[in-house]
């Protein structure tokens, strides 16, 4: 699947406020997913295997490292059988860059996905992803959706994060 998103990530300790807001807006609660993301070395973009109870995907993505609403191009492959075997092949061929362990509450309002994350060794975060199909959806509409929910959830610009969880963990642990 080839998708494009407008998205933000921010440090955010108001998960109860966000949950109440989302439920009042009619969000569909997908569930609480314990996810382990294994990032692999790659020459461009990022490559990770997500192993979770709800979501198990091989994900390759490219996005700028800016502290604002940003675009991502994502290639997503749903892993149905043997994610451990796939992880072994990728680890052997590419090497493991970093592992991110998190608990994630997942909500949807139409095409907008919300993550309330508790990331081991990093803390509490929120992610908002306005999701569209590359070449079909208007990127300005996706941007406006993301901005609307940032405003409604009172996400301040100083809390925006311009890096992936993997980069934050690498920096924190002085890896690489």
Give the range of the structural domain holding residue 38, as residue numbers without chain letter. 2-173
Q: What SS3 state is found at 140?
A: helix
Structural domain count of the chain: 1
Q: What DSSP designation does 160 have?
A: B
- CATH classification of the domain holding 109: 2.40.320.10
On the 0-12 / 13-18 / 19+ scale of CB atoms within 10 A, 174 is: exposed
Helix (H) / strand (E) element for 93: namely helix 83-94
Q: First and final CA of the chain: distance in angstroms?
A: 31
pTM of the predicted protein model: 0.92
pLDDT band per the 50, 70, 90 thresholds, residue 1: low
Average pLDDT, the chain: 93
> Is 90 exceeded by the pLDDT of residue 12?
yes
pLDDT band per the 50, 70, 90 thresholds, residue 4: confident
């Amino acid at each position: 699947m080839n998708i494009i998103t407008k998205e933000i990530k921010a440090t955010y300790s108001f998960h109860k406020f966000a949950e109440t807001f989302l439920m009042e807006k009619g969000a569909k609660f997908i569930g609480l997913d314990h996810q382990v993301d294994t990032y692999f070395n790659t020459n461009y973009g990022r490559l990770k295997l997500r192993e979770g109870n709800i979501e198990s995907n091989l994900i390759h993505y490219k996005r700028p490292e800016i502290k604002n609403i940003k675009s991502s191009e994502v290639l997503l492959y749903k892993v149905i059988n043997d994610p451990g075997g796939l992880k072994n092949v990728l680890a052997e061929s590419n090497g493991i860059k970093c592992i991110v362990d998190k608990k994630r509450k997942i909500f949807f309002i139409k095409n907008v996905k919300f993550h309330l994350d508790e990331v081991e060794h990093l803390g509490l975060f929120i992610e908002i992803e306005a999701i569209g199909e590359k070449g079909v959806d208007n990127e300005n509409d996706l941007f406006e959706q993301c901005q609307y929910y940032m405003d409604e959830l009172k996400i301040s610009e100083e809390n925006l994060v311009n890096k992936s969880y993997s980069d934050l963990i690498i920096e924190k642990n002085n890896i690489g």
